[in-house]
């Protein structure tokens, strides 16, 4: 029986991995799996060698503080992969964890094929990483077509598979009367998947909701949670005294909620593409500690945090970062958009044009699963 080890480093990567592995399971049911993963992969019946939360840290200082724990988990992961002896090591995103593991595995067992999904953002920072990656990655699966040139230059085998979150789908407006009163307008809130993110952003977002309620109490705010952080968010929401907030973690319900929203407030990250793909106007928020932010500014070579803005080299989606990431700024920006439908229309138009330029013609998960199958020699 063929074997695949799935290696993820955070919840968003776990979600992306699950879209590919579910397709691979449908194509080839006779594969044995083991993983470092979260709730999405576990729902497929695949064991994780430890809880993903043990390696999910935000910011440079948090990583430094927990460096010995992380190093211990890297060592354990390498040893467990070598013991499992898979035909394919399928790593997803989180390059500072997954690629370190892949490099060490490849050094010790060159027979294990290494396939990485979600290329490290060498176009944002640390461009020289590509030369090193060439030594231990057999195939790079790219989310964006513009990434190809960076890996072609080093003769690294790569395939543009597209991003699963922007694949064309029918965004059907579903009746949500059982969940949300039909006379309430929904604003979706994405506070992040890491507890370290939600710790920072939740108090700000709850204060923003209070300002919205003071102006016009016609909205229901829905926090899009993960299974891992749902209880944490519910606890803070319950202590806030606000009664027009729901917290959902079920993926299907979250998708329905989003497609029925009039606006979204999202932390910077992959989820912003899902919002754009659902044709919902939005703003981006994020806040790091001062030290982490200064280190980040020194290392990156792009002006924006959001991929849509980076591609357009202008602020299509407003970014409220650091000092601007406060309740009043978020409130003012959201109200300004809601009062100006022309602005919303312009944002959605620009976003849709951008999506058409980066969307793959095939299904990302199907294409990626097919590539994995080839390496498994099915």
The DSSP secondary structure of 260-272, one letter per residue, reads: T-SEEEEESSTHH
The domains located in the chain, with CATH, are 2-162+361-375 (3.40.50.2000), 185-358 (3.40.50.2000)
**Measured between alpha carbons, how far is 317 from 315 in angstroms, rounded to an integer?**
5
Task: Provide the whole-model pTM.
Answer: 0.79
Q: What is the pLDDT of residue 301?
A: 62
The tens-digit pLDDT sequence of the chain (378 residues) is 999 999 999 888 999 999 999 999 999 999 999 999 999 999 999 999 998 877 765 444 455 556 667 788 999 999 999 999 999 999 999 998 999 999 999 999 999 999 999 998 766 555 677 889 999 999 999 998 889 998 999 999 999 999 887 875 544 445 555 556 667 899 999 998 877 788 899 999 999 999 999 998 899 999 999 888 899 999 999 999 999 999 999 988 999 999 999 999 999 888 899 999 999 999 999 997 666 666 566 556 668 889 999 889 999 999 999 999 999 999 999 999 999 999 999 999 999 999 988 888 889 999 999 999 999 985
**Quick check: helix, strand or coil at residue 35?**
strand
Query: Are residues 204 and 283 in contact, defined by beta-carbon separation less than 8 angstroms?
Result: no
Q: What is the pLDDT of residue 204?
A: 97
Q: What is the pLDDT of residue 171?
A: 47
**Measured between alpha carbons, how far is 96 from 280 in angstroms, rounded to an integer?**
32
**Measured between alpha carbons, how far is 20 from 72 in angstroms, rounded to an integer?**
28
**Measured between alpha carbons, how far is 59 from 298 in angstroms, rounded to an integer?**
14
């Amino acid at each position: 029986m063929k074997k695949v080890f799935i290696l993820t480093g955070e919840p968003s990567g776990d979600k992306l991995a699950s879209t590919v592995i579910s397709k691979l399971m449908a194509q080839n049911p006779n594969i044995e799996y083991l993983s470092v993963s979260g709730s999405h992969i576990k729902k497929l019946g695949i064991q994780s060698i430890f809880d993903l939360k043990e390696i999910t840290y935000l910011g440079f200082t948090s990583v430094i503080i927990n460096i010995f724990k992380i190093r211990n988990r890297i060592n354990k992961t390498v040893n467990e992969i070598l013991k499992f002896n898979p035909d394919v090591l399928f790593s997803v995103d989180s390059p500072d964890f997954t690629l370190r593991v892949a490099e060490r595995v490849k050094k010790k067992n060159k027979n294990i094929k290494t396939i990485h999904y979600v290329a490290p953002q060498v176009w944002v920072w640390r461009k020289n990483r590509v030369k090193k990656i060439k030594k231990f990655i057999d195939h790079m699966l790219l989310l964006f077509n513009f990434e190809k040139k960076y890996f072609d230059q080093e003769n690294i085998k790569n395939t543009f598979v597209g991003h699963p979150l922007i694949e064309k789908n029918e965004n059907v407006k579903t009746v949500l009367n059982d969940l949300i009163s039909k006379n309430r307008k929904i604003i979706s809130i994405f506070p992040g998947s890491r507890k370290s993110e939600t710790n920072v952003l939740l108090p700000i977002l709850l204060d923003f909701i209070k300002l919205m309620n003071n102006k016009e109490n016609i909205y229901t705010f829905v926090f899009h949670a993960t299974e891992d952080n749902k209880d944490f968010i519910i606890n803070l929401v319950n202590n806030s005294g606000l009664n027009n907030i729901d917290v959902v973690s079920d993926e299907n319900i979250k998708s329905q909620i989003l497609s029925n929203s009039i606006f979204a407030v999202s932390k910077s990250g992959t989820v912003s593409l899902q919002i754009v793909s659902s044709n919902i106007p939005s703003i981006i928020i994020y806040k790091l500690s001062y030290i982490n932010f200064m280190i980040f500014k020194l290392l990156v070579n792009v002006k924006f945090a959001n991929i849509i803005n980076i591609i357009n080299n202008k602020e299509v989606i407003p970014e409220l970062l650091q000092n601007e990431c406060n309740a009043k700024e978020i409130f003012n920006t959201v109200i300004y958009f809601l009062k100006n439908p022309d602005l919303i229309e312009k944002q959605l138009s620009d976003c849709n044009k951008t999506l058409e330029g980066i969307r793959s013609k095939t299904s990302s998960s199907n294409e990626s699963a097919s590539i994995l199958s080839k390496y498994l020699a099915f």
